[in-house]
């Protein structure tokens, strides 16, 4: 089929067929989201267990709203899941790449083996002009490399374009971010003839709502994503660095953040001081960005990200110090309740979770640690089997010498200090996320310590 014929088919039908390769967090959400927009979607993965679960309407991770999106679209027949690449390539000519790009073991750089293996499996099977749209976060230059790789693997006469459409979704808001994105960025190769039309058609209903669409080259699109994450990480580490000064100067970082936030050039979001950032994106993405900049000879430009990373990691050791002080100078034999294990609320993700990291350090320092989290217990047990896990706040706090709030789940923010007072051994609470109403806890007889705020003063 000629390039023009392909475009006409796309523009004419409105409902498009597409595949999403990789059905982890990003891919599964994107597949369900595209089906919700009315398209006919197949999610493809090499993990048969994951595919079986998704096909049965079961989301293998916690994400508000995703289960309903999945089951509605499976029932409507717009969404299917398979491990069969032949079935997928027969189904559609628009293919999304949503596989993971984890940090390499022992290095800062990103591991691209999953992205490469999708290209290697997919491209030789293509028989019609096709567009492969990457969504995974990759080092700048990857998309152009994948384009060359794809052209080398494609059958004679089969034209394959590679485009890049970075994904900005946040865990906990993935459905909303997919169905109502802030912007759509599409990087295309210099000689592209069909990527923009295909992607515009797919996202037509979003574009009609006025979502900004930015067409760029491949490398700019790749850099937009890592720059956004680097900026967010920097903003969090900025306020945490200021909180270190506040703690010594006896100033209140939470009031300071509110005051800064009224300046529209600064904004209040991502200025919550506390235990800092974790998860599967920000930490690994800033490290991969530094590694790539170094390879390109621009290492100095991103040297500040090393400081951003180290401010962030320092929050975790500071939390251990603060807890030690709150327990009278030693953790040996202390009974510590840790509320929160997920890297942030509304998520069961414990990848590089500051909360779980602190829980582990407390145990290494001789404390008995009882962890409770509303959603992340199962995942926590897998990565940290030696900690004690409780099934409720009360159980975790039973005869505790100190209670730590390390993830700001609403359940913890709304705890009743009077009710918890009779459960613990000592009414000592350490707020690692600056999310508690200090006066309320104090008036119920608790000693309150806050990360980044002078403890004696609150
Ligand atoms: C992030 C980006 O926001 C998203 O655009 C990208 O696609 C993936 O990475 P996510 O990892 O889901 O999303 O989490 P995010 O909400 O950004 O929070 C990251 C971390 O920063 C969490 O550990 C959170 O607790 C912490 N954080 C956030 C703070 O410590 N202070 C803040 O003010 C905000």
Report d(CA 385, CA 160) in Å as an integer. 46
The number of angstroms, rounded, from the C-alpha of 251 to the middle of its chain's C-alpha atoms is 32
Give yes or no for residue 166 CB within 6 A of ligand 1: no
Q: Is 281 a catalytic residue?
A: yes
Distance (angstroms) between ligand 1 centre and the Cα of 282 equals: 7
Indicate if the alpha-carbon torsion angle 122, 351, 227, 310 is positive or negative.
negative
Catalytic residue selected from 18, 281, 327, 450: 281
Reference 399, options 420, 378, 372; nearest CA is 420
Residue 270's DSSP bridge partners are: none
The pLDDT of residue 103 is: 87
Rounded to an integer, what distance in angstroms lies between the CA atom of residue 348 and that of residue 388?
Answer: 17
Question: Any idea how long the chain is?
Answer: 458
User: H/E element holding 228?
Assistant: helix 218-249
Burial 333-349 (b: 16+ CB within 10 A, else e): ebbbbbbbbbbbbbbbb
49 vs 409: CA distance, rounded Å: 30
Regarding beta strands 368-372 and 388-389, do their DSSP bridges make them parallel or antiparallel, or are they unpaired? parallel
Q: Distance from the CA of 240 to the center of ligand 1, in angstroms?
A: 14
Give the Å distance between the CA of 277 and the centre of ligand 1. Answer: 6
Per-residue pLDDT of the chain (458 residues; tens, 9 = 90+): 344 445 434 444 589 999 999 999 999 999 999 999 999 999 999 999 999 999 999 998 999 999 999 999 999 999 999 999 999 999 999 999 999 999 899 988 999 999 999 999 999 999 999 999 999 999 999 999 999 999 999 999 999 999 999 999 999 999 999 999 999 999 999 999 999 999 999 999 999 999 999 999 999 999 999 999 999 999 999 999 999 999 999 999 999 999 999 999 999 999 999 999 999 999 999 999 999 999 999 999 999 999 999 999 999 999 999 999 999 999 999 999 999 999 999 999 999 999 999 999 999 999 999 999 999 999 999 999 999 999 999 999 999 999 999 999 999 999 999 999 999 999 999 999 999 999 999 999 999 999 988 755 33
Report residue 154 as tokens.
């494609």
Binding site membership of 308 for ligand 1 (Cβ less than 6 Å): no
Residue 150 · residue 132 · CB < 8 Å: yes
Any idea what DSSP says for residue 99? Answer: -
Q: What order do you get walking across the sheet with 94-97 strand by strand?
A: 79-82, 40-44, 17-21, 94-97, 130-134, 160-164, 184-188, 213-217
Predicted confidence at residue 4, as pLDDT, reads: 43
Q: Is 270 in the pocket of ligand 1 (CB under 6 A)?
A: yes
pLDDT for residue 377: 98
The b/e string for 423-449 (b: 16+ C-beta within 10 A; e otherwise) is: bbebbbbbbbbbbbebeebeeeebbbb
Q: Which of 410, 451, 217 is nearest to 314 (CA)?
A: 451
Site to probe by mutation for ligand 1, drawn from 174, 266, 281 as the one with most ligand atoms within 8 Å of Cβ, is 281
| Full DSSP string of 177-215 | HHHS-S-EEEEE-TT-SSHHHHHHHHTHHHHHTT--EEE
Of 290, 284, 288, 285, nearest in space to 307 by CA: 290
Distance in Å, CA 160 to ligand 1 centroid:
35
Cα 348 to ligand 1 centroid, rounded to whole Å: 14
Q: Is 277 in the pocket of ligand 1 (CB under 6 A)?
A: yes
Alpha carbons 145 and 352: distance in angstroms, whole number: 29
Per-residue tokens: 54: 């998704």
Q: Which H or E run includes 94? A: strand 94-97
For ligand 1, atom 23, name the residue with the nearest CA.
Answer: 277
Q: Which region, left, alpha or beta, applies to residue 114 given φ > 0 means left and ψ of -120 to 50 means alpha? A: alpha
Q: Does 288 contact ligand 1 (Cβ within 6 A)?
A: no
Helix and strand element counts for the chain (H, E): 20, 14
CA distance 146 to 128: 18
Whether residue 378 contacts residue 371, with contact meaning beta carbons closer than 8 Å, is answered with no
147 lines ligand 1 (CB under 6 A): no
- The candidate with the shortest Cα–Cα distance to 165, out of 196, 144, 139, is 196
Give this prediction's pTM: 0.94
Cα separation, 371 vs 6, in Å, equals 55
Residue 409, ligand 1, Cβ within 6 A? no
Best residue among 33, 137, 171 to mutate for probing ligand 1, ranked by most atoms within 8 Å of CB: 171
């Amino acid at each position: 089929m000629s390039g023009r014929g392909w475009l006409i088919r796309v523009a004419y039908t409105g409902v498009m067929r597409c595949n999403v390769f990789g059905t982890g967090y990003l891919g599964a959400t994107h597949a369900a989201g595209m089906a919700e927009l009315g398209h006919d979607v197949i999610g493809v993965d090499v993990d048969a267990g994951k595919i079986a679960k998704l096909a049965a309407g079961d989301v293998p991770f916690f994400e508000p709203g995703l289960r309903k999106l999945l089951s509605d679209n499976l029932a409507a027949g717009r969404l299917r899941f398979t491990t069969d690449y032949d079935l997928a390539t027969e189904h559609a000519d628009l293919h999304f790449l949503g596989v993971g790009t984890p940090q390499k073991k022992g290095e800062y750089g990103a591991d691209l083996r999953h992205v490469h293996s999708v290209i290697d499996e997919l491209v030789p099977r293509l028989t019609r002009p096709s567009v492969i749209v990457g969504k995974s976060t990759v080092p700048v230059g990857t998309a152009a490399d994948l384009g060359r790789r794809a052209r080398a693997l494609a059958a004679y006469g089969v034209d394959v374009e590679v485009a890049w459409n970075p994904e900005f979704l946040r865990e906990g808001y993935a459905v909303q971010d997919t169905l109502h994105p802030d912007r759509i960025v599409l990087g295309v190769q210099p000689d592209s003839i069909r990527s923009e039309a295909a992607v515009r058609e797919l996202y037509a209903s979003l574009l009609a709502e006025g979502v900004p669409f930015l067409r760029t080259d491949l490398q700019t699109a790749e850099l937009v994503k890592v720059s956004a994450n680097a900026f967010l990480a920097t903003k969090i580490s900025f306020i945490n660095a200021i909180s270190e000064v506040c703690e010594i100067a006896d100033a209140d970082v939470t009031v300071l953040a509110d005051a800064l936030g009224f300046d529209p050039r600064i904004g209040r979001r991502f200025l919550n001081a506390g235990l800092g950032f974790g998860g599967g994106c920000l930490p690994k993405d800033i490290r991969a960005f530094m590694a790539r900049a170094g390879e390109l000879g621009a290492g100095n430009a991103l040297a500040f990200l090393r400081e951003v990373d180290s401010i962030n990691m320092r929050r975790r050791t500071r939390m251990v110090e603060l807890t030690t002080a709150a327990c009278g100078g030693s953790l040996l034999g202390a009974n510590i309740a840790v509320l929160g294990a997920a890297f942030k609320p509304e998520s069961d993700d414990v990848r590089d979770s500051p909360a779980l990291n602190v829980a582990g350090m407390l145990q290494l320092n001789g404390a008995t640690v009882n962890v409770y989290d509303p959603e992340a217990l199962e995942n926590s047990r897998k990565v940290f089997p030696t900690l004690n896990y409780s099934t409720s706040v009360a159980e975790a706090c039973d005869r505790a010498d100190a209670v730590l709030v390390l993830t700001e789940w609403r359940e913890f923010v709304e705890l009743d200090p009077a009710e918890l007072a009779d459960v613990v051994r000592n009414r000592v609470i350490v707020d690692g996320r600056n999310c508690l109403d200090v006066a309320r806890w104090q008036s119920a007889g608790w000693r309150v310590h806050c990360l980044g705020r002078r403890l004696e003063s609150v």
